[in-house]
A = this chain, B = another copy of it.
Amino acid sequence: MANYKLLIQYEGTRYNGWQRQDSTDQTIQGKIEQVLSRLYGQSVEINGSGRTDGGVHAIGQTANFKVGKKEDQFSTEEILQYVNAYLPQDIRVMSVEHVDERFHARLSAKSKIYEYRIDRGRVESVFDRRFAARTEGTLDLERMRKAASYCIGTHDFKSFCSNKKMKKSTVRTIYDISFREEGQILTLRFHGDGFLYNMVRILTGSLIEIGEGRREPEEMEQMIAARERGAAGYTAPPQGLFLVNVLYPEK
């Protein structure tokens, strides 16, 4: 049995998210599995590090797949060339790596980095129209920083989860939230051990509401404590969100 790790980049605009679905051909996982299955002449399934929603982008998504000893006839370079030759241009496999049999893109992941880009310009930037969310009002960064500080650490983030039927633990650890300004684009960077369904987008929506002055920074504490989706802010739209990096323990 051979195990391969893929580093994947995609523009999510045209897709119904990462996860394969019976109802649509337009998923990232589906597209990659199709090409790999063609290469190996048999059905190949890949494990992503996690799902991304429709419209969400990835700079460094990861996945792994296994093939039997008999089918393991291609080098990592051959796999890379083949998949990129057949994948649509808005999905690219950036690298293919032979990994230990125990490696699993989701289960082995130690932490993840997401970025959310906000276009604060008076007129929206042409080049970021698919890669940032718009805000109407001005954002007070100091208020946002203060609110973000309440999120750092281990908390029950149930208020920031869109999945109402979530049965598993909603406790997560956020290591860091940082802010970066480049021209009219404000980028929020989230580093955590894992994120719930829509968690980064709801955190961002809440931070935007606070930055715009519609809520107080201190309310972030109450939003977390409520453990209720209704207590938190709105879900910021998908096009601003990027899965930047999935981190694994050093070998």
Q: Collect the chain B residues with CB atoms within 8 Å of residue A132's CB.
A: none
When the two chains form their complex, are residues A9 and B126 in contact, meaning their CB atoms are under 8 A apart? yes
Q: Of B89, B90, B129, which one neighbours A89 at CB under 8 angstroms?
A: B129
Question: Does A209 have its Cβ within 8 Å of any Cβ on chain B?
Answer: no
For the complex formed, measure the closest distance between the CB of A238 and the CB atoms of chain B, giving whole angstroms.
Answer: 15
Q: Of B93, B125, B131, which one neighbours A127 at CB under 8 angstroms?
A: B131
Q: Collect the chain B residues with CB atoms within 8 Å of residue A93's CB.
A: 123
Residue in chain B with minimal CB distance to A58: B126
Question: Does A166 have its Cβ within 8 Å of any Cβ on chain B?
Answer: no
For the complex formed, measure the closest distance between the CB of A126 and the CB atoms of chain B, giving whole angstroms.
Answer: 5
New A-B contacts (20) at CB < 8 Å, excluding given A11-B127, A57-B127, A92-B125? A9-B125, A9-B126, A9-B127, A10-B126, A80-B123, A84-B123, A89-B126, A89-B129, A90-B126, A90-B129, A91-B126, A92-B123, A92-B124, A92-B126, A93-B123, A94-B121, A94-B123, A95-B122, A95-B123, A127-B131
**Count of A residues near B, CB < 8 Å?**
23
For the complex formed, measure the closest distance between the CB of A240 and the CB atoms of chain B, giving whole angstroms.
Answer: 14
Interface string of A108-132 (1 = CB under 8 A from B): 0000000000000111111101010
Give the interface centre of A57, A59, A93, A123 by most chain B CB atoms within 10 Å: A123
- Report how far A84 CA is from B89 CA in the complex, Å: 30
- Report how far A90 CA is from B10 CA in the complex, Å: 21
Residue in chain B with minimal CB distance to A89: B129
Q: Collect the chain B residues with CB atoms within 8 Å of residue A129's CB.
A: 89-90
Give the interface centre of A10, A57, A95, A126 by most chain B CB atoms within 10 Å: A126
Q: Collect the chain B residues with CB atoms within 8 Å of residue A95's CB.
A: 122-123
Residue in chain B with minimal CB distance to A59: B127
Q: Collect the chain B residues with CB atoms within 8 Å of residue A10's CB.
A: 126
- Report how far A9 CA is from B124 CA in the complex, Å: 10
For the complex formed, measure the closest distance between the CB of A78 and the CB atoms of chain B, giving whole angstroms.
Answer: 14
Residue in chain B with minimal CB distance to A81: B123
**Which A residues from 20 to 67 make CB contacts under 8 A with B?**
57, 59
